[in-house]
Amino acid sequence: MSSDSVELPPLELLQLLGDGKNHSGQELAGLLKVSRTAIWKQLAKLEGLGLELLSQSGKGYCLVGGLELLEKDLISSLLAPSAANAIADLTLLNLVDSTNSYLMRQEQDAGISVCFAECQTAGRGRRGRQWVSPFASNIYLSLRLSISSGLGAVEGLSLAVGVAVANALDELGVDDVRLKWPNDVLWSGKKLGGILIEVVGDPSGLCHLVVGLGLNLRTEKSMADTIDQPWVALDTIISVLPSRNRVAACLLNHIVPLLSDYEKKGFVSYRAAWESLNAHTNQKVDLFMGSLQATGLVRGVNSAGALLLETDRGLEVFHGGEVSLRAAV
């Protein structure tokens, strides 16, 4: 799906439908001062955004589950000083190829640049997988920062970010979050979110990191039809789904301070917390790295965030990258 193939209806129309209630075509046309035919044409675009629209004779149109758009001022008002003071730029986009790609194209400001999107047309997960991104349903977030001492200073960063995400979810009332090495956020063994870190620049000197996070908030039909692994969304975990704007701010309040001093503190400051959240401690797993496959018991991670796997050959160390880990059958 390219951005050229996705068309957004007017935001005013999305806001009217956002209450999740029934609205007649005549009502919508009157409020937007257009014809009912024009309304019908705009509503036809919703399917391409991954949204479910119900049309009922005599009742009109209903956007299943409603809709909450992100608001920059609201998110900013909910930021703690430790996050707000470190953010150089906060961008909210309605439509983008991917938030990671967007930030990688920008000039780096001093401080941390943040980008949220309502919809991604080419959202990426690890190993080149598509990250399904229905409009205004989940969190699609990227953060960019510069480091001067090379990639060695940020070993284990994806694991530490996972700890920050787990802490944010705990603050939002989500219990029993676990982390799967090296990038996944799990609940009850199912994927709730994923982290993707990309680098541009000199790996041994000045380079720029982009930290991407996708977090499932709502169970949209388009996701159920597309995602090919066990997954879960917040709306099936907790009885009252928190505001997307609150979730966005809470994530920044935990992730941004971590990024601000990670080059100085390193993964060792987060190792114990990650181990307490490790989804596969002492479990038998299969590990796939390209053509390499290893089976063994997970014995935690080392001070650099590398996986410690006890195999038939002894205790082996595996670093992150293009890796797939799954419970052994």
- What are the angstrom distances between the C-alpha of 185 and each of 38, 169, 225, 296? 42, 10, 21, 22
Among the CATH numbers 1.10.3720.10, 2.30.30.100, 3.40.50.620, 3.40.50.20, which is that of 280-327? 2.30.30.100
Q: What is the mean pLDDT of residues 217-229?
A: 66
| CA–CA gap between residue 87 and residue 84 (Å, rounded) | 5
**Of 126, 178, 244, 271, which one is the catalytic site residue?**
126
Torsion, Cα of 252, 256, 257, 258 (10° steps) = 110
CATH class of the domain defined by 72-274? alpha beta
What pLDDT score was predicted for residue 64?
Answer: 85
| CATH node for 3-63 | 1.10.10.10
Measured over the CA atoms of residue 175, residue 124, residue 1 and residue 144, the dihedral's sign is: positive
**Of 178, 180, 191, 244, which one is the catalytic site residue?**
191
Annotation marks residue 126 as catalytic:
yes
Count other C-beta atoms under 10 Å from residue 142's C-beta. 27
Annotation marks residue 191 as catalytic:
yes
Counting residues of the chain whose pLDDT is more than 70, the rounded percentage is 92
Where do you find CATH 2.30.30.100 in the chain? Answer: 280-327
287 pLDDT above the threshold of 60: yes
The residue with greater pLDDT, 323 or 78, is 78
Range with the poorest average pLDDT among 135-144, 146-155, 264-273: 146-155
**Of 21, 59, 72, 326, which one is the catalytic site residue?**
326
Where do you find CATH 3.30.930.10 in the chain? Answer: 72-274
- What are the angstrom distances between the C-alpha of 326 and each of 190, 193, 226, 297? 12, 16, 20, 12
pLDDT, mean over the chain:
89
Annotation marks residue 271 as catalytic:
no
Let me know: does 47 contact 36? Beta carbons within 8 Å.
Answer: no
φ/ψ of residue 289, rounded to 5: -135, 95
Indicate the pLDDT class of residue 2, thresholds 50, 70 and 90: very low
Where do you find CATH 1.10.10.10 in the chain? Answer: 3-63
Find residue 114's DSSP bridge partners: 90, 143
1 pLDDT above the threshold of 50: no
What pLDDT score was predicted for residue 250?
Answer: 98
pTM for the predicted model, two decimal places: 0.89
What pLDDT score was predicted for residue 129?
Answer: 58
What pLDDT score was predicted for residue 109?
Answer: 72
DSSP state for residue 231 in the 8-state scheme: B
